[in-house]
């Protein structure tokens, strides 16, 4: 015998909904407009995260967690990009279940075209739900890069392995970013040829951790970036490559470092420099007094330089 759930008094319905597992509340919420209201009320006390996950070798899923419960909803037995509209509708039906207590994480790893990924990012952008984490691996496209940067202005973490498609992309994204300032906790860009010193100093200055790969900066540009950091940037860790050899001494002089390690004194290696004995020195911001270790490897064609405000060397 079936029971009319909505035939119970409202107080009883709310009590029952409050005892349901997260997965049951999600399934209940997409049945009807009335059931959606019940689920919203039951979900209101919890901060939830929805992860949109498209990764090669696994079934595309939506993963939900509220700190206590975890559940996942498969999007399709086999991924087919032609099902874009179906994916979009499926994802969007969950947004109304939450009242300001939902955050989104996104992981796309080598599955689907750049246009498909861009369409999913558009859905998230229109939902106005904050994004905490975005991972893109092995994609190509200028628009996808710009959408990712725009979407994640305040995200916790953005890992972007996406190649630009035209040489003039530096100018294009420079205009797109305009006065936009990102406040990400961690920003990692694997194809960073489009990242200019101006973008670092103007648009990325409030990121806590900035890691740039597969591109090299001129020694003079590195000096400009570090001098700008001294004026009050929020960056606590910066990693980039320098295109010249034997640049360390000039950078030290230009930045008026506090003290200098000659490369032969043993010390901890927690600041992630791949050389066995990197050179390093300390600089401080002019107004805040925040100190950072500058560690560098300048004996190769593309040396690595790291600025680290949390280096264990600062306690010596």
**What confidence category does residue 154 fall into, taking pLDDT thresholds of 50, 70 and 90?**
low
Mean local confidence (pLDDT), 145-169? 83
Strands 303-308 and 291-297: antiparallel
pLDDT over 60 (residue 45): yes
Residue 166 vs residue 265, higher pLDDT: 166
Residue 228 vs residue 99, higher pLDDT: 228
Q: Please tell me the distance from the alpha carbon of residue 73 to that of residue 174, in angstroms, as a whole number.
A: 39
**What confidence category does residue 181 fall into, taking pLDDT thresholds of 50, 70 and 90?**
confident
Residue 13 vs residue 253, higher pLDDT: 253
Domain assignments of the chain as residue spans, ordered by start: 236-316
pLDDT over 90 (residue 235): yes
Tokens of 192: 């960073």
% of the chain beyond a pLDDT of 90 = 37
Mean local confidence (pLDDT), 296-304? 76
pLDDT over 60 (residue 144): yes
Mean local confidence (pLDDT), 102-113? 92
Question: Over the chain, what is the mean pLDDT?
Answer: 84
**What confidence category does residue 7 fall into, taking pLDDT thresholds of 50, 70 and 90?**
low
What is the pLDDT, as a whole number, of residue 2? 64
Residue 157 vs residue 244, higher pLDDT: 157
Tokens of 299: 């004996």
Q: Please tell me the distance from the alpha carbon of residue 81 to that of residue 54, in angstroms, as a whole number.
A: 11
Residue 261 vs residue 139, higher pLDDT: 139
- Cβ–Cβ under 8 Å, residues 210 and 239: yes
What is the pLDDT, as a whole number, of residue 273? 43
Q: Please tell me the distance from the alpha carbon of residue 50 to that of residue 130, in angstroms, as a whole number.
A: 11
pLDDT over 50 (residue 264): no
pTM of the shown model: 0.85
Mean local confidence (pLDDT), 142-166? 85
**DSSP-derived secondary structure for 87-108:** HHHHHHTTGGG-SS-EEEEEEE
């Amino acid at each position: 015998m079936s029971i009319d759930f909505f035939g119970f008094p409202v107080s009883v319905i709310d009590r029952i909904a409050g005892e349901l597992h997260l997965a049951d509340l999600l399934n209940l919420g997409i049945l009807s407009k009335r059931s959606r209201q019940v689920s919203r009320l039951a979900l209101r006390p919890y901060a939830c995260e929805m992860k949109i996950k498209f990764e090669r070798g696994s079934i595309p899923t939506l993963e939900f967690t509220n700190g206590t419960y975890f559940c996942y909803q498969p999007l399709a037995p086999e991924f087919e990009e032609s099902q874009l509209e179906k994916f979009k509708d499926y994802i969007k039906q969950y947004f109304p279940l939450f009242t300001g207590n939902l955050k989104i994480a996104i992981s796309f790893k080598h599955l689907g075209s750049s246009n498909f990924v861009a369409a999913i990012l558009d859905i998230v952008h229109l939902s106005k739900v904050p994004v905490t984490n975005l991972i893109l691996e092995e994609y190509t496209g200028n628009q996808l890069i710009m959408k990712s940067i725009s979407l994640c202005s305040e995200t916790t973490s953005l890992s972007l392995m996406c190649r630009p498609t035209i040489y003039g992309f530096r100018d294009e994204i420079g205009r797109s970013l305009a006065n936009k300032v990102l406040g990400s906790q961690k920003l990692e860009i694997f194809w960073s040829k489009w990242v200019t010193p101006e973008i670092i100093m103007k648009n990325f200055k409030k990121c806590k951790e900035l890691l740039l790969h597969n591109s090299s900066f001129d020694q003079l540009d590195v000096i400009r970036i570090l001098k700008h950091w001294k004026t009050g940037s929020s960056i606590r860790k910066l990693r980039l490559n320098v295109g010249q050899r034997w640049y360390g001494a000039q950078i030290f002089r230009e930045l008026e470092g506090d003290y200098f390690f000659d490369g032969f004194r043993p010390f901890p290696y927690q600041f992630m420099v791949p050389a066995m004995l990197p050179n390093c020195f300390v600089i401080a911001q002019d107004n805040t007094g925040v100190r950072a270790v500058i560690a560098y490897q300048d004996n190769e064609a593309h040396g690595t330089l790291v600025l680290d405000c949390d280096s264990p060397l600062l306690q010596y």
